[in-house]
Amino acid sequence: MNNPHLEQPADTVARLRATFRSGRTRPVDWRTTQLRRLREMLTDNGTELAGALHADLAKSSTEAFRTEIDATAREIDHILGHLDQWLSHEPVPVPPHLGDAKAWTQYDPLGVVLVIAPWNYPALLLLTPMIGALAAGNAVVAKPSELAPATSAVLARLLPAYLDTDAVAVVEGGVRETTALLAERFDHIFYTGNGTVGRIVMSAAVRHLTPVTLELGGKSPVFIDRDTDPMTVAARLVRGKFLNAGQTCVAPDYVLTDAETARALEPALVKAIEELYGTRPATSPEYGRIINERHFDRLSALLDSGRLVTGGDRDRAAKYIAPTVLADVRPEDPVMQEEIFGPVLPLVTVSGLDEAIGFINDRAKPLALYAFTESETTRRRLASETSSGGLGFGLPLVHITVPDLPFGGVGESGMGNYHGRWSIETFSHRKAVFDKPLS
Ligand code: NAD
């Protein structure tokens, strides 16, 4: 039987484990076939997937292709272009007293991998870890987010139609189904989502001593230096912040800058928002919606912070919250107590770089830190005196699209990383091999 809808989690894992043990997923040919099929799936069904992303998040077709479908296809192409090279054995020197012995490292697949995805980029964040796990020669159980039900349903139908169903299973569902899956023994668990559930996943993994990758979130700060041009900064900041209505794990969460720069930035941000979404963002096809009422209510409660510069209007029935900027926000205001994960940008005033670095280091390590500055000293200081999953100067978000950079958090923003060859590292065991000839 290979219909995971009718199977118990234990049977699904046992079935995939049997496939893995048969050796079927190990040959590079099998892996590249799966990746090519996945690419075909995206080409054949891109429009349908974009429709599902629109149904779940009101993502425009342009955004759906750019940030999810095409981004996934690029990851496949990158891995297909380098896989042979990445998988080759790496010889290492042996000490002279071992004579004619040889030693090398090789990448071994781990076995059966569980991938649990969130709702904000529900296709990209299910498929990208799967691509890495398959490229590394594993079997995969994929659990899409129930909070993006249209995308979950399309992926649950398409993936089995294109991939080897003896080695890949999609299990739809929410807390109950995920809890049942987590009771099983996996060889790696890759979780993307919030830190509370991240802790649940890690606790479940402890029982089987299963390694985990946790791709979490947090408040990603943006430092803006006084030597910068407000219009350039605002245009770039607004694009990164309000993409997907702010529901992006690496979105700029809040701004740290001095009072004078903040004052210059305020009208520039208003103008940049207008240029991107017009004077009535509610009617812009490019502007997304909040995933559900629960998040709408959570975000509404955060608006009562600082001074409103622009936005603030909302419509619960439409799950619409306008692109909003708040100035003079204090660290103790509601909007500064949790990851915003929505279209609200607070400006927090600091005296300068020293205070900004102190502010960042007093809080949980973020998934990303951004800075706009012309000063090489400031860049060096931010790079060496703060800790974050990634660091981006001059343009938010895009560091995650550089194929050879690892993507992942540190501390509260997560553990482990992936993308390209870093996915091969994550989903493989680097085995040490030693060989001494017998004669
Ligand atoms: P979500 O609610 O969709 O949850 C993620 C997954 O966890 C889902 O598949 C869900 O079924 C499962 N889940 C929920 N409750 C569970 C439970 N009690 N036990 C087991 N599984 C459970 O998504 P979310 O957590 O709201 O996502 C938003 C968060 O994710 C934000 O903090 C964001 O920053 C973070 N995020 C991080 C990344 C990254 O790559 N680092 C990417 C996207 C989102």
Which tokens go with 9? 């989690």
Whether residues 211 and 269 fall in one domain = no
Whether residues 338 and 427 fall in one domain = no
Whether residues 430 and 285 fall in one domain = no
Domain that includes residue 97, residue range: 4-216+414-435
Element spanning 115, H or E: strand 112-116
- How many CB atoms are closer than 10 A to CB 372? 27
Atom of ligand 1 nearest to the CA of 117: 9
What span, in angstroms and rounded, lies between the C-alpha atoms of 69 and 48? Answer: 11
Whether residues 209 and 242 fall in one domain = no
User: What residue's CA is closest to ligand 1, atom 2?
Assistant: 118
Atom of ligand 1 nearest to the CA of 147: 3
Amino acid in the structure at residue 30:
W
Residue 374's SS3 state is coil
Report if residue 407 sits inside a domain: no
Report if residue 406 sits inside a domain: no
Amino acid in the structure at residue 352:
G
Report if residue 294 sits inside a domain: yes
Amino acid in the structure at residue 109:
P
Report if residue 115 sits inside a domain: yes
215 alpha carbon – ligand 1 mean position (Å): 9
Q: Which residue shows structure tokens 């005296």? A: 351
User: What residue's CA is closest to ligand 1, atom 23?
Assistant: 118
415 alpha carbon – ligand 1 mean position (Å): 15
- How many CB atoms are closer than 10 A to CB 124? 21
Q: Which residue shows structure tokens 């509370």? A: 196
Verify whether ligand 1 is closer than 6 Å to residue 119 (CB atom): yes
Catalytic residue among 249, 266, 339, 425: 249
What span, in angstroms and rounded, lies between the C-alpha atoms of 135 and 31? Answer: 5
Whether residues 235 and 177 fall in one domain = no
Catalytic residue among 184, 215, 266, 425: 215
Report if residue 311 sits inside a domain: yes
Q: pTM for the full model?
A: 0.96
Tens place of pLDDT per residue across the chain (439 aa): 455 567 899 999 999 999 999 999 999 999 999 999 999 999 999 999 999 999 999 999 999 999 999 999 999 999 999 999 999 999 999 999 999 999 999 999 999 999 999 999 999 999 999 999 999 999 999 999 999 999 999 999 999 999 999 999 999 999 999 999 999 999 999 999 999 999 999 999 999 999 999 999 999 999 999 999 999 999 999 999 999 999 999 999 999 999 999 999 999 999 999 999 999 999 999 999 999 999 999 999 999 999 999 999 999 999 999 999 999 999 999 999 999 999 999 999 999 999 999 999 999 999 999 999 999 999 999 999 999 999 999 999 999 999 999 999 999 999 999 999 999 999 999 999 999 999 8
Nearest to 109 by CA among 199, 198, 18, 25: 25
Long-range CB contacts (within 8 A, 24+) of 337-340 = 338/219, 338/302, 339/217, 339/218, 339/219, 339/253, 340/219, 340/246, 340/251, 340/253, 340/254, 340/299, 340/302
Range 260-277 burial, b when 16+ CB lie within 10 A, else e = ebbebbbebbbbbbeebb
Any idea what the CATH number is for the domain that residue 72 is in?
3.40.605.10
Whether residues 198 and 268 fall in one domain = no
Pocket test for ligand 1, best of 194, 212, 220, 397 (most atoms within 8 A of CB): 194
Q: How many domains is the chain partitioned into structurally?
A: 2
Which tokens go with 62? 């342009």
Whether residues 261 and 390 fall in one domain = yes
Report if residue 246 sits inside a domain: yes
- The stretches of 167-323 forming alpha helices (DSSP H) are 175-182, 195-208, 230-242, 259-277, 293-302
Q: Are 215 and 192 in contact (CB under 8 A)?
A: yes
Angle formed at CA 326 by CA 240 and CA 299, multiple of 5 degrees: 75
Any idea what the CATH number is for the domain that residue 324 is in?
3.40.309.10
Whether residues 134 and 278 fall in one domain = no
User: What residue's CA is closest to ligand 1, atom 13?
Assistant: 175
Known catalytic membership, residue 385: no
Long-range CB contacts (within 8 A, 24+) of 268-271 = 268/230, 268/231, 268/233, 268/234, 269/234, 269/237, 269/238, 269/309, 269/310, 269/325, 269/345, 270/309, 270/310, 270/325, 271/231, 271/234
Report if residue 53 sits inside a domain: yes
Whether residues 175 and 248 fall in one domain = no
What span, in angstroms and rounded, lies between the C-alpha atoms of 325 and 270? Answer: 8
Verify whether ligand 1 is closer than 6 Å to residue 341 (CB atom): yes
Q: Are 230 and 289 in contact (CB under 8 A)?
A: no
Whether residues 120 and 269 fall in one domain = no
Verify whether ligand 1 is closer than 6 Å to residue 134 (CB atom): no
Report if residue 408 sits inside a domain: no
Whether residues 154 and 70 fall in one domain = yes
Pocket test for ligand 1, best of 119, 172, 179, 365 (most atoms within 8 A of CB): 119
Verify whether ligand 1 is closer than 6 Å to residue 246 (CB atom): no
Known catalytic membership, residue 68: no
Verify whether ligand 1 is closer than 6 Å to residue 179 (CB atom): yes
What span, in angstroms and rounded, lies between the C-alpha atoms of 234 and 194? Answer: 28
Whether residues 262 and 306 fall in one domain = yes
Element spanning 190, H or E: strand 188-192
